[in-house]
Amino acid sequence: MSALLATDGLTKTFGGIVAVDGLDIAVDESELVGLIGPNGSGKTTTLNLVTGFHAPTGGAVLFDGDDVTGMKPYQVSKRGIGRTFQISKPFGRMTVFENMLVPNVPYGPKEREERIWKLLEELHLDHVAEHRADALSGGQKKLLELARVLMLEPKLVLLDEPAAGVNPALMDEIIADIKQINERGTAILVIEHDMSVISELCERVIVMNAGRQVTTGTFEEIRNDERVREAYLGGA
């Protein structure tokens, strides 16, 4: 079976910086995969390339049997890839409910409203539905972003540091929510620096360094890998 998402020699340079350097990674259908690596190793840039926020300098992105390289973000999202941002950016002056109305969903108003309430309940945001988004805590903003992405029923969701800046109580909730979304069949690729979150969540982990995949395996497999230690210690 071919992978749901695959990058083939994906490359991105910014001036003299090679942010992503001939990257080959894959995510299978319904998989929950972690993407880790030191600061500046190219994780966020990889997400930006896959979702069309940046055009690659070279290589290809294949999704669900199609070449989606160089497509615009709205085209990629229409095909079934959702993403959240390292710094979540809901529309602050709009309410939580209004934020949920933003995605251009392919179904009618009644179904839209039902789905909004279902997602707000699932992600513990129903009690703040009428609050302005900029009044939410950091963790709630992340949950709102995730809820909004799920309006489009994506096949794959890319999460950029969903646990960063989230208080410990909400953290457990976010982890449980991500697991539940995945159990319903949505593939997830999650960038995260918190190793307890990665070990708790991920069936498989991809380790990046300097724009490349260093290795991939279960958390147990990669945690004792010398190449992974070297990546985090700057190759010393």
Ligand X SMILES: Nc1ncnc2c1ncn2[C@@H]1O[C@H](COP(=O)(O)OP(=O)(O)OP(=O)(O)O)[C@@H](O)[C@H]1O
* Residue 16 contacts ligand X per CB under 6 A: no
> What phi and psi values does residue 116 have, to the nearest 5 degrees?
-60, -50
Distance in Å, CB of 198 to Mg ion, minimum? 15
Please check whether residue 154 is in contact with residue 4, taking contact to mean a CB–CB distance below 8 angstroms: no
> Which 8-state DSSP code applies to residue 192?
-
Q: Which of 45, 69, 88, 99 binds ligand X (CB under 6 A)?
A: 45
Q: Under rule CB under 6 A, how many of the chain's residues touch ligand X?
A: 12
Question: Cα–Cα distance between 23 and 7 in angstroms, integer?
Answer: 7
Q: Nearer to ligand X by C-beta: 61 or 119?
A: 61
Residues 6+ apart with CB under 8 A from 110: none
Q: Does 99 bind ligand X (CB under 6 A)?
A: no
- Answer for which of 34, 37, 82, 154 binds ligand X (CB under 6 A) is 37
Which of 21, 32, 43, 80 binds ligand X (CB under 6 A)? It is 43
CB of 54 to ligand X, least distance (A): 7
Beta carbon nearer to ligand X, 41 or 88 = 41
Residue 36 or residue 178: which is nearer to Mg ion going by CB? 36
Q: Which two tokens stand for residue 44?
A: 């966020």
Q: How far is CA 80 from the centre of its chain?
A: 13
> Can you give the C-alpha Rg of the chain in angstroms?
18
Contact with ligand X (CB under 6 A): which of 17, 87, 176, 195? 17
